[in-house]
Amino acid sequence: MSTESLRVTIDKKTAALKAAMAAGKWWHSIDLGDGFVTPGVHTPEELAYNYSTFRLPENLSGKRMLDIGCWDGFYSFESERRGAEVMAVDCWTPENILKAKAARQSNLVFEEKSVYEITQDSVGTFDIVFFLGVLYHLRHPLLALEHVCEVTREFAIIESHVCDDFVNTDFAHLPVMEFYEFDELGGQHDNWWGPNIECLTKMIRAAGFAHTEFLRRDPTRVAIKAYRNWQDIPNEATPSLRLTRIINAVKYDEVFPRRGRHAMLAIGVKGLPHEAARLDVRVEIGGFGVVPAYAGPWGGTDDYSEFQLNAIIPPGVPAGKATVRVWHGDKISDTRAIELIDTPLIPAERVV
Ligand SMILES: C[S@@+](CC[C@H](N)C(=O)[O-])C[C@H]1O[C@@H](n2cnc3c(N)ncnc32)[C@H](O)[C@@H]1O
């Protein structure tokens, strides 16, 4: 399909959805019991298919889950049905989710909160976080991803509109975002950004997630699983890979704020091969994985005998002792501990 006809299709689809919503329809088809399923704009089959692409276990008992931008709450209720303890938030209070909660006698907790208000202090932490269909509605998507990351312990499922089929294919390998000043996307004023998949993947890592897995690609949308750590960590330290020093990468001292502009470490390592690239070197700080923003000779020289790895303190690591280690292939370094200090959150009063 051509770029222009894709845009027209999105416009028509959005107009039909708006008309359906105006007529009092539900966004999600939700089983309220006794054979009554709400007449959602999204059919039960479509929603079940979407959920299946997240590849979650059928039994989610023991998992704490957060659904950001939940709307009517299908994804929350389905997670609760599978045994999870669920919190659902949205930047307004959809009456439908409260009706469905009552009808299903659900224990789900709903709170009206914007993603920018989601912090460990305000909601705690969650094994799994859903961030479905929200990113492109935000003026500050990277900031929002940092908030998502801060409260995620295992992984987040991030689903979004993407612009890959709109932009010139010469750019497909480059991280680019389309910006919608007015209602250019689907005639909606609250659509701001259309990242391409490359851009979204890189933003997810830049926000602090360790790595991503591709889950689903629809014509203009993508679903990505964003992990807080790696699964294949070697068990034992290898003496040939050794941490040499850890300093603050911004201030060159040994004061380590846990968040903010100075929350970046420079980690010295001996034993990495000359060709080690930043996406192959894995850093773990305070139990969370993070990709080094820089991996090369210490101090930018051409002496590769000591590598310097610059990495942000991943969002959500608490103040106090935090362990640091590094691995590459099947080699893992010794572990060092640093003391992270607390810093106040910068008030984001202008963020909407
Ligand atoms: C396209 S709907 C997606 C609903 C649901 N997550 C899904 O995938 O079907 C976007 C949702 O994001 C919510 N939203 C928009 N801006 C938000 C913000 N700043 N914080 C939290 N939710 C937001 C909207 O109110 C809406 O419920």
- 251 versus 346: the higher-pLDDT residue is 251
Give the pLDDT confidence score for residue 1 in this predicted structure.
67
* Residue 51 host element (H or E): helix 44-52
For residue 247, the CA-to-ligand 1 centroid distance in Å is 40
Q: Looking at the predicted structure, is the pLDDT value of residue 349 above 90?
A: no
Give the pLDDT confidence score for residue 95 in this predicted structure.
94
Mean pLDDT along residues 169-191? 91
Instruction: Tell me, using a 6 A CB cutoff, whether residue 249 lines ligand 1.
Output: no
Q: Looking at the predicted structure, is the pLDDT value of residue 324 above 60?
A: yes
- 64 versus 232: the higher-pLDDT residue is 64
Mind listing the pLDDT tens digit for each residue in 136-168? 999 999 999 999 999 999 999 999 999 998 887
Give the pLDDT confidence score for residue 211 in this predicted structure.
97
Residue 32, token pair as written in the block: 């309220």
Mean pLDDT along residues 263-292? 97
Instruction: Tell me, using a 6 A CB cutoff, whether residue 78 lines ligand 1.
Output: no
Give the pLDDT confidence score for residue 21 in this predicted structure.
58
Q: Looking at the predicted structure, is the pLDDT value of residue 304 above 80?
A: yes
Residue 152 near residue 228, CB atoms below 8 Å: yes
Mind listing the pLDDT tens digit for each residue in 83-140? 999 999 999 999 999 999 999 999 999 999 999 999 999 999 999 999 999 999 999 9
How far is it, in rounded angstroms, from Cα 160 to Cα 147? 17
Q: For a pocket test of ligand 1, which of 97, 134, 147 has the largest count of ligand atoms closer than 8 A to its C-beta?
A: 134
Categorize the per-residue pLDDT at 22 as very low, low, confident or very high, splitting at 50, 70 and 90: low
Residue 338, token pair as written in the block: 């640093």
How far is it, in rounded angstroms, from Cα 166 to Cα 55? 28
Mind listing the pLDDT tens digit for each residue in 213-230? 999 999 899 999 999 999
For residue 288, the CA-to-ligand 1 centroid distance in Å is 27
For residue 133, the CA-to-ligand 1 centroid distance in Å is 6
Give the pLDDT confidence score for residue 336 in this predicted structure.
98
How far is it, in rounded angstroms, from Cα 249 to Cα 22? 53
The SS3 assignment for 5 reads helix
| CATH for the stretch 242-341 | 2.60.40.10
| CATH for the stretch 3-227 | 3.40.50.150
Strand partners, 324: 285, 336
Q: Looking at the predicted structure, is the pLDDT value of residue 169 above 80?
A: no
Instruction: Tell me, using a 6 A CB cutoff, whether residue 137 lines ligand 1.
Output: yes
49 phi, psi to nearest 5 deg: -65, -50
Give the pLDDT confidence score for residue 345 in this predicted structure.
76
- 126 versus 23: the higher-pLDDT residue is 126
Mean pLDDT along residues 304-322? 97
Q: Looking at the predicted structure, is the pLDDT value of residue 272 above 60?
A: yes
Categorize the per-residue pLDDT at 20 as very low, low, confident or very high, splitting at 50, 70 and 90: low
In this structure, which long-range contacts are made by residues 1-7, counting pairs with CB atoms below 8 Å and at least 24 apart in sequence?
Answer: 1/165, 1/219, 3/165, 3/166, 6/165, 6/166, 6/219, 6/220, 7/166
Mean pLDDT along residues 298-317? 96
Residue 78 near residue 46, CB atoms below 8 Å: no
Give the pLDDT confidence score for residue 96 in this predicted structure.
96
Highest average pLDDT, of 134-138, 170-174, 326-330, comes from 134-138
For residue 1, the CA-to-ligand 1 centroid distance in Å is 28
Give the pLDDT confidence score for residue 352 in this predicted structure.
72
Instruction: Tell me, using a 6 A CB cutoff, whether residue 147 lines ligand 1.
Output: no
Give the pLDDT confidence score for residue 344 in this predicted structure.
80
Instruction: Tell me, using a 6 A CB cutoff, whether residue 114 lines ligand 1.
Output: yes
Same fold, 3-227 and 242-341: no
Q: Looking at the predicted structure, is the pLDDT value of residue 19 above 70?
A: no
- Domain extent listing, the chain: 3-227, 242-341
For residue 90, the CA-to-ligand 1 centroid distance in Å is 6
